[in-house]
Chain A
Amino acid sequence: MLDILDISKPFADMDRPVDIETERAIMRWLHAEVRYLDAERYQEWLNDFIDPEIHYWMPDMETRRRDDPRGMFAYGESAYFDDTWSELNIRVKRYNEPSAWADNPQTRHLHQISNIEINATDDPTLFAVHSAFTNVRNRNEADQDIIHGRREDVLRAVDGGYRLLRRRVFIVQNVLLSKNLNTFF
């Protein structure tokens, strides 16, 4: 397996920038993806943006001493998401139920992304994409949750477009300062 597909391995130096045309195409993909998430178009997101072989992982951050070899997180430890396509599909099915009360009334979403870097990899069909995000959820009158973090994505070129093959989501919080995560990142 390519290192880049090993979920436990962070991206190496982002020193292989892609050509401007590829960069534009992937930027458009990234912006379209978060627009779908903002609109809670989860089924279309799953169908149109996510590769059937997706590995979607968001570990839980721990506070540890710098000299602790376990670090802040590790694959196989506790996580918020560690999903295959069928597991993401279960989450989407819940959103599709009218009795998903945490989403009814509707939540107002904003996914803002920045710090985008797009790199080529040893496989010409795969691209390493780094981004930072601000995720805002607001519901009812004044309930607001804000989460900041970074994403390390691997996109696969498929049929003239792209699919998300791997995503690592790193948030900056240890104690999650929210009651739930009724969104994707």
Chain B
Amino acid sequence: MCEGDCKGAAKGRPNMKPVYPKAGSYPDFAKLVDRENAQVDRRVFTDEQVYQAELRQIFARSWLFLAHESQIPNPGDFVRTSMGEDDVIVVRQRDGSVNAFLNSCPHRGNRVCMVDAGKKARGFICNYHGWSFGIDGALRGTDGKVYEKDETFEKAQIGLTPVAQVDSYKGLIFGTFDPDAVSLLEFFGDFTYYLDIMLDNDEGGTEFIGGAIKSEIDCNWKFPAENFVGDILHAFWTHQSGAQAILGGGVDLGKRYDELAFQASIYGHGIETNLDKVGNTRTLGYPDLVDYAFELSEKAKDRLGELRARAIGAVSSCTVFPNFSFLPGQNTFRVWHPRGPGKIELVVWTLVNKNAPDHIKEQYRKGVMMTFSPGGVFEMDDGENWEYSTRVNQGFVTRQQPLHYALGIESADMERDLPGHIHKGSLNDANQRLFYTRWAEFMEHDNWTDLQNGATAAPKKTATAAE
């Protein structure tokens, strides 16, 4: 009830202002990541209290991927998604901007939107009591105008809870529940240098094609996130069968691996790449796509410089902290939504350049389906690994045992003129160590000043693109 801090409200009228939770500090959980010994305590994958702390510290504060601009081109177009476990509606406004709201009626909490997506909606109506909201989230009316006849009712101050900040970067829309969070660009840091490999390699921008494929995997969300942040190592063993089926041979990191391959990390976001031009694109199985990737690589030198032009179709993978990942060259973009410590909902999309020819877009759609969808010859073999990496820790003794994240502990590359923490070779645990270091920073710190100035921040060097 309103007890004085809500000016002008009638006595007893409830204060319906949005509540954005404050972060805390969990130094004991932060210690579960042992940077000295390159070890991660298995409790981070199974402990319910750790998981609840993740929802508070990480998912209620980080900028999280919401949608691609191309999914909601017109006012009233919307998609439903999640931020952590929170159900969210992302909707294009009449002025062209994008807002996002909790999908929960402020009356009894029911969802006001039951569908995956829609076009040109005028608003959202709760099925329970008919409370109706505009695409701006404001309460417009109620069924039978019962409330309107109650003179103490003031609908102007009631609405869907807005996501505190929404912003976009080159077509990708992100949101955060933290009004005090740094800007999206500051959250990325110089990692945009690497995001541009996929988001800005051609004029005209990008789009998502087809819809989303959603599936459930009984694993902790961090296993797939760390896999994409810097684990090309698994491809040789896990995906031997898929590579054999499509390529007739094993995964190939290119002839110039020792010279070119590296990992880069800033604020826990990470990319590993072999700069072999087309290794990822080749696995989609269509020769036309390989030709397209080669041509694009040549053309993109002007926009991105030689090094990043080589990365567009290369054997590579990327995670934007905490749970948004993609594969350059294979063009699959995905979010690993947490659903408890031992479960995720995986949502995958296909990204293409808007001005790519139609038959190229179609081959990307089909190629992603053949490789990185639930029936795909690569993704097929990932899930069980992540499930058992998670599930075995139900064993009390098992979960006391250390895990080894020490590949490449002496591989830091201090010379290469690239943004972020650079390590030599893509076969490396470096990005995964920095991903968990970032995780620990979020557990430890209750403020953005500390969050943005810790060990995961880009080391000080004059390292904008040499090109």
- Tell me whether B186 is interfacial, beta carbon within 8 Å: no
Q: What number of A residues sit within 8 Å (CB to CB) of B? A: 36
CB < 8 Å neighbour of B374 from A62, A90, A181: A181
Check B240 against A97 for contact (C-beta < 8 Å): yes
Interface residues of A (CB under 8 A from B): 58, 60, 62-65, 68, 70, 76-83, 87, 90-91, 93-94, 97-102, 174-182
Chain B nearest CB from A76 CB (Å) reads 7
Q: Which residues of B contact A70 (CB under 8 A)?
A: 119
Check B384 against A178 for contact (C-beta < 8 Å): no
What are 28 of the A-B contact pairs (CB < 8 Å)? A62-B211, A64-B115, A64-B118, A68-B119, A78-B210, A79-B369, A80-B369, A81-B369, A82-B366, A90-B245, A90-B370, A94-B377, A94-B380, A97-B240, A99-B241, A101-B241, A175-B214, A175-B216, A176-B213, A176-B215, A176-B216, A178-B215, A178-B216, A179-B217, A179-B218, A179-B384, A180-B379, A181-B380
Chain A nearest CB from B352 CB (Å) reads 13
Q: Which residues of B contact A102 (CB under 8 A)?
A: 380-381, 383-384
Question: What's the Cα separation between A79 and B370 when bound, in Å?
Answer: 10
Q: Which residues between 377 and 400 of chain B lie within 8 Å of chain A, taking CB atoms?
A: 377, 379-381, 383-385, 387
Check A76 against B210 for contact (C-beta < 8 Å): yes
Check A60 against B213 for contact (C-beta < 8 Å): yes
Question: What's the Cα separation between A5 and B242 when bound, in Å?
Answer: 31
Question: What's the Cα separation between A58 and B385 when bound, in Å?
Answer: 26
Check A90 against B246 for contact (C-beta < 8 Å): yes
Check A90 against B210 for contact (C-beta < 8 Å): no
* Proximity string of chain B (234-245) to chain A, C-beta cutoff 8 Å, 1 when within and 0 when not: 000110111011
Check A101 against B381 for contact (C-beta < 8 Å): yes
- Tell me whether B41 is interfacial, beta carbon within 8 Å: no
Check A80 against B242 for contact (C-beta < 8 Å): no
Check A180 against B380 for contact (C-beta < 8 Å): yes
Q: Which residues of B contact A62 (CB under 8 A)?
A: 115-117, 211
Check B238 against A60 for contact (C-beta < 8 Å): no
- Provided the pairs A90-B285, A94-B377, A176-B374 are in contact, do residues A63 and B114 lie with their beta carbons within 8 angstroms? yes
Chain A nearest CB from B386 CB (Å) reads 8
